[in-house]
Amino acid sequence: MGDLRRCLGSMLVCGFDGGALPDDFRTLLQANSLGGVILFARNYSTDAHLSELTAQIHSLTEVPVLLAVDQEGGRVVRFAGDFPSYPSPRHYGLQHDAEGLLSATAQTAEHLHKAGVNLNLIPVCDLAPDDVAHVIHSRSYSSDPEEMADMVRLQIKCLREQGVLSCAKHFPGLASSYGDPHNVVSRSDQSLADFRQRDYIPFRAAIDAQVDMIMVTHLLAPQIDANAIATFSSVFVRQELREYLGFTGPVITDDLLMAGALEGVLTAEAGIKAILAGSDLLIYGNLSDNIIPVTEAITQAAASDPALAQRLEESSDRIRRFKLERLKAQGENPDPAQRPNR
């Protein structure tokens, strides 16, 4: 059970309420059983406080930890106040101002790196939909697949140069969807051929640019898999992302506490379904009060399910290799002997 618990822990990227790290998070980090922390506006007050919080998190574990944030610009930002503020990607796209978005990306990454945050969950690879009320509209640079592909390559390069990891999202692409996955199960009636010919183009560019990870989202696309949202679908994760597009890095879920993931599914069950589908990292946006019960529930399920246990071991190994390669390259030190005292 201990080995399975540590394997699962390496896969978890969890958020919490407030500006202070909860005791349960501290316990898991000290046991090397929490692979990442995702930060939100509720965790931020000033740059100084953010740096203190991230330093504390890094110091508690002997294994390099992912510290993630959604800092896209426009309406999707978690750190305001002292942090630089920029318009949305769509703002730059409508003005054909690629240099403007790249400058914003670089300056944001520089601030994140200085603050101890090593993963920005960008670039958005979804094509821009026409509907201004769509969840993706302002968050996407362009509706043109090739223009998006060019921007995606440049943003990934920009993040790498500033010492910050990248994440291409939201696979397989939400441009043709209706329904915001934060609130409902999002749905697209598009064919697999259309996804491959349009929506996949920016993701393929991200893979070519050596993006660090790819996020799969809570989208039901019945023409491809009528039985499961992409997050819980081996068709999307294994067949399309791994085999068709050839991505070999970590696959991370969108927040498993979104309504689009939890329709008829319990919190721990969402994690189990995502793992079995092929994801390596699980985002739970807020487990302030129940990170231990969720961890125990998934671990116990793996103890009695050889297929789930095997998946935990596979993903844990992929994450370990990824951290040794990518976090070390981005300035993290994976050598426990040279990490701060806990």
Tokens of 244: 């068709």
Q: Are 219 and 186 in contact (CB under 8 A)?
A: yes
For residue 96, what is the domain's CATH number?
A: 3.20.20.300
**pLDDT the model gives residue 229:** 98
Residue 211 lies in a domain: yes
Q: Which of 66, 118, 39, 122 is nearest to 331 (CA)?
A: 118
Q: Which of 144, 182, 194, 305 is catalytic?
A: 182
**pLDDT the model gives residue 305:** 97
**pLDDT the model gives residue 1:** 65
Tell me the C-alpha distance between 155 and 149, whole Å. Answer: 10
Backbone angles phi, psi at 336, to 5 degrees: -55, -30
Q: Concatenate the DSSP letters of all residues of 47-85 into one string.
A: HHHHHHHHHHHHHH-SS--EEEE---BTTB-S--TTS--
**pLDDT the model gives residue 81:** 84
Bridge partners of residue 12, in order along the sequence? 282
Residue 341 lies in a domain: no
Q: Is 213 helix (H, G, I), strand (E, B) or coil?
A: strand
* Residue bearing tokens 């990607």: 89
Tell me the C-alpha distance between 34 and 18, whole Å. Answer: 19
Backbone angles phi, psi at 59, to 5 degrees: -75, -15
Number of domains in the chain: 1
Q: Give the mean pLDDT per block of 10 residues along the chain (342 residues).
A: 90 97 97 96 95 97 95 95 92 96 97 97 97 93 98 98 97 95 94 98 98 98 97 98 98 97 95 98 97 97 97 97 83 40 36
**Residue 131 corresponds to which amino acid?**
D
Residue 338 lies in a domain: no
Q: Which of 254, 289, 305, 317 is catalytic?
A: 254
Bridge-based pairing of strands 36-39 and 12-14 is: parallel
Q: Which of 299, 309, 318, 317 is nearest to 276 (CA)?
A: 309
Is there a catalytic annotation at residue 131? no
Residue 89 lies in a domain: yes
Is there a catalytic annotation at residue 91? no
Residue 342 lies in a domain: no
Query: Which domain does 112 fall in, by range?
Result: 2-329
**pLDDT the model gives residue 309:** 98
- Whether omega before 64 lies within 30 degrees of 0, making that bond cis, reads no
**pLDDT the model gives residue 2:** 73
Residue 337 lies in a domain: no
Q: Which of 38, 35, 37 is nearest to 10 (CA)?
A: 35
CA 173 to chain centre: 14
Sign of the CA dihedral 199, 212, 230, 287?
A: negative
Residue 335 lies in a domain: no
Bridge-based pairing of strands 12-14 and 119-120 is: unpaired
Residue 222 lies in a domain: yes
Q: Is 216 helix (H, G, I), strand (E, B) or coil?
A: strand
Q: Are 167 and 121 in contact (CB under 8 A)?
A: yes
Count CA within 13 A, CB hemisphere, residue 102: 16
Residue 305: CB atoms within 10 A of its CB come to 14
